């Protein structure tokens, strides 16, 4: 299952979790290609939506989108 943000707080209560936006956006783009295929018209749209949500701090929304595929496809877990 997908690892959700905030897991460090249990072991490290004063930890500050930081997301490297450059690499996270790249991972989102690569994930979109893996999910929809490089020729799909949905790749750019889905990836942009997720990258925008990342910029807005909406991590749970992105995780929710990914969990749909993780539940459906064993390879995505």
pLDDT digits (tens, 9 = 90+) for 17-47: 788 999 999 999 999 999 999 999 999 999 9
CB 46 within 8 A of CB 36: yes
> What is the rounded distance in angstroms from the CA atom of residue 30 to the CA atom of residue 47?
9
> What is the rounded distance in angstroms from the CA atom of residue 12 to the CA atom of residue 7?
9
11: pLDDT strictly greater than 60 = yes
Q: What is the pTM of this model?
A: 0.75
Strand (E) or helix (H) holding 42: helix 42-55
Written as six digits, the tokens of 31 are 């994930």
């Amino acid at each position: 299952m997908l690892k959700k943000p905030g897991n460090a707080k249990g072991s490290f209560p004063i930890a500050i979790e930081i997301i490297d936006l450059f690499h996270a956006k790249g991972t989102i783009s690569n994930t979109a290609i893996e999910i929809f295929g490089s020729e799909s018209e949905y790749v750019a749209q889905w990836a942009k939506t997720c990258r925008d949500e990342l910029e807005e701090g909406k991590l749970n929304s992105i995780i929710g989108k990914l969990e749909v595929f993780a539940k459906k496809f064993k390879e995505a877990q």
